[in-house]
Chain A
Amino acid sequence: MHPLYRILTPPSRWFVKSSARIHVEGVENMPRAGGFLLLPNHQSALDPFVVQSFCPRPIHSMTKSTQFGVPVVRWILPRIGAFPVRRFQVDPQAVRTALRLLEGGAGVCIYPEGERTWDGSIQPFRRGTLHLALRVGVPIIPVGLNGMFDLWPRWLGKPRPRPRVTLRFGEPLEFGAIRDRRRRQEMLPELEVLLAQRLASLSQAPVSESLQQRVGEARGGRG
């Protein structure tokens, strides 16, 4: 990882601590070595600061490509581990970059809902992210964020002062590397149900109706 990542982590932690009363749990669930995939729920624009600042190992965050539009930001983001994804199309280059990093033993963070929640609830997961998780075979760490919606909900222009925020790293989910696409398609509902349960439990956030429906269908399909 670039030295800027190490240089910016302490001030970033200070920024988070001055913005919220942060409590971190489950760091013992993080693998000590090898690639891993973090899948947090997404409540606020500041989630990446919190996750990246308090994750015990460096991570590369999949970041929407429009964030790279400002030249200074475009210079900084790759140095702090971010890589772009074009969310409006299937983006093979973003998948290739994620796979390269994970197979090289690095940590990658992807927000599986694909965007911030509007109402605090957990939204359905992007199929592409679940496919990637099943394909690469590294430990999948569900990460629950609680209180970030209070800090800065998507529909407010600026953050609110010092809410209580909890960041919980969950126990790893292990599926192994499933190279066969058809097999991954079969396993998708199982991962979807498990991830929804874990994220709801870790974040204490409600599950949206649309995700409940998807989980119900997935359970029906399995049962």
Chain B
Amino acid sequence: MALTDLLYRCPLCERDPLPGKGTEAHCPDCGARFSAVRGGGVTVAQPGHPTTRRTALELAMALELPSDTGASGDVVSGPGAGGALVAPLRPIRESRARIKIATGQTPIRFQGQVLGFMETFGATREGLLRLEDDALIFQTDSGHATGGMHQPEVDRWPLDRILSVQASSSSVQITTREKGLVSIKVQDESIRLWELLIHRTIQEVWHARGWGRIVEFQPRIRAE
């Protein structure tokens, strides 16, 4: 995790993504430098301006999610992304990612009692994750050969069939009706950004379906 997980784009000029590492970030467009400092704050040094100290909350509130690019818009790709998925509809964002899907659950027992359950996961797969306006799509790098052609495996999760969304440490976890829990580790992009983008896009789907305003994304998506 890094400061750029919080500041997923430049709060001053909106450059997306904002490059950085650890406690530092630097915008190549407007020249602003951001450094995490004590007190939960961030200093902002902008060429030609005095260095100011802002709270993480102030900067986070100054951020706006990247707008939906629409049917003919360009996909915003994270570093290392590339390649196109099969028949993109309305691409919003794509990034390299690793996913693992829960295969079952194990009871946690103690002193003769079942305290609860923990999930067990299948193998981690690596590939390209893409958020479209009606689905989250993952295409693996590996796959199987059919008639001499390499066929990647593609998982497609329609947004109206996602039951919950949450950030957990450095992953985004979604629960789908068909596959259960899917843990997604987005590489080189802000996990916070992906969580918020998925939230917003699901909210739009729910709005279009007339299902109401979502008030909670975990433990399950609920509207009022």
- Give me the interface of A with B, judged by CB distance under 8 Å: 64-66, 68-69, 74, 78-79, 83-91, 93-94, 97, 100, 114-115, 118-121, 124, 126-128, 149-150, 153-157, 160, 163, 206, 209, 214
State which residues 138-180 of B face A: CB under 8 Å.
163-164, 166-169, 173-175
Q: Which residue of B has the minimal Cβ distance to A128? A: B219
- Assembled-state Cα–Cα distance A160/B60 (Å): 21
Q: Which of A64, A65, A93, A127 contacts B222 (CB 8 A)?
A: A127
Mark interface residues in B38-56 (1 if CB within 8 Å of A CB, else 0).
1110000000000000011
Collect the chain B residues with CB atoms within 8 Å of residue A126's CB: 216, 218-219
**Closest Cβ–Cβ distance, residue A31 to chain B (whole Å):** 23
Given A83-B108, A118-B192, A120-B56, CB of A97 within 8 Å of CB of B1: no
- Assembled-state Cα–Cα distance A86/B218 (Å): 10
Decide: A150 and B60 in contact? CB cutoff 8 A: no
Interface membership of B5, Cβ < 8 A: yes
Collect the chain B residues with CB atoms within 8 Å of residue A214's CB: 215
Decide: B181 and A68 in contact? CB cutoff 8 A: no
Decide: B166 and A115 in contact? CB cutoff 8 A: yes
A sample of 16 more A-B contacts (CB under 8 A), given A78-B115, A114-B218, A126-B216, is: A68-B118, A83-B108, A86-B219, A88-B173, A89-B164, A89-B175, A89-B220, A115-B218, A119-B59, A120-B56, A120-B57, A149-B40, A153-B6, A155-B2, A157-B1, A209-B61
Decide: B219 and A65 in contact? CB cutoff 8 A: no
Collect the chain B residues with CB atoms within 8 Å of residue A160's CB: 38
Interface membership of B36, Cβ < 8 A: yes
**Closest Cβ–Cβ distance, residue A214 to chain B (whole Å):** 8
Decide: B2 and A157 in contact? CB cutoff 8 A: yes
Collect the chain B residues with CB atoms within 8 Å of residue A66's CB: 118-119, 168-169
Interface membership of B22, Cβ < 8 A: yes
- Assembled-state Cα–Cα distance A84/B109 (Å): 10
Q: Which of B5, B119, B216 contacts A86 (CB 8 A)?
A: B119
**Closest Cβ–Cβ distance, residue B163 to chain A (whole Å):** 7
Q: Which of A69, A87, A119, A124 contacts B56 (CB 8 A)?
A: A119
- Give me the interface of B with A, judged by CB distance under 8 Å: 1-3, 5-6, 22-23, 36, 38-40, 55-57, 59-61, 105, 108, 110-111, 113-119, 163-164, 166-169, 173-175, 181, 192, 215-216, 218-220, 222
Q: Which residue of A has the minimal Cβ distance to B171? A: A66
Given A78-B110, A120-B55, CB of A69 within 8 Å of CB of B5: no
Decide: A89 and B163 in contact? CB cutoff 8 A: yes
Which of B38, B167, B181, B219 is packed against the most chain A CB atoms within 10 Å?
B219
- Assembled-state Cα–Cα distance A64/B47 (Å): 44
A–B Cβ pairs within 8 angstroms, 29 of them: A65-B119, A66-B168, A66-B169, A69-B118, A78-B115, A83-B108, A83-B115, A84-B115, A84-B118, A85-B116, A86-B118, A86-B219, A87-B168, A88-B163, A88-B181, A89-B175, A115-B166, A115-B218, A118-B60, A120-B57, A128-B219, A153-B6, A153-B36, A153-B40, A153-B56, A156-B2, A156-B22, A156-B23, A157-B2
Decide: A93 and B175 in contact? CB cutoff 8 A: no
Decide: A154 and B1 in contact? CB cutoff 8 A: yes
Decide: A163 and B38 in contact? CB cutoff 8 A: yes
Which of A69, A74, A84 is packed against the most chain B CB atoms within 10 Å?
A84
Collect the chain A residues with CB atoms within 8 Å of residue B116's CB: 65, 83-86, 91, 93-94, 97
Given A90-B219, A118-B192, CB of A84 within 8 Å of CB of B117: yes
**Closest Cβ–Cβ distance, residue A5 to chain B (whole Å):** 12
- Assembled-state Cα–Cα distance A78/B117 (Å): 12
Q: Which of A88, A128, A157, A206 contacts B175 (CB 8 A)?
A: A88
Decide: A156 and B168 in contact? CB cutoff 8 A: no
Which of B3, B110, B114, B115 is packed against the most chain A CB atoms within 10 Å?
B115
**Closest Cβ–Cβ distance, residue A90 to chain B (whole Å):** 5
- Assembled-state Cα–Cα distance A88/B6 (Å): 22
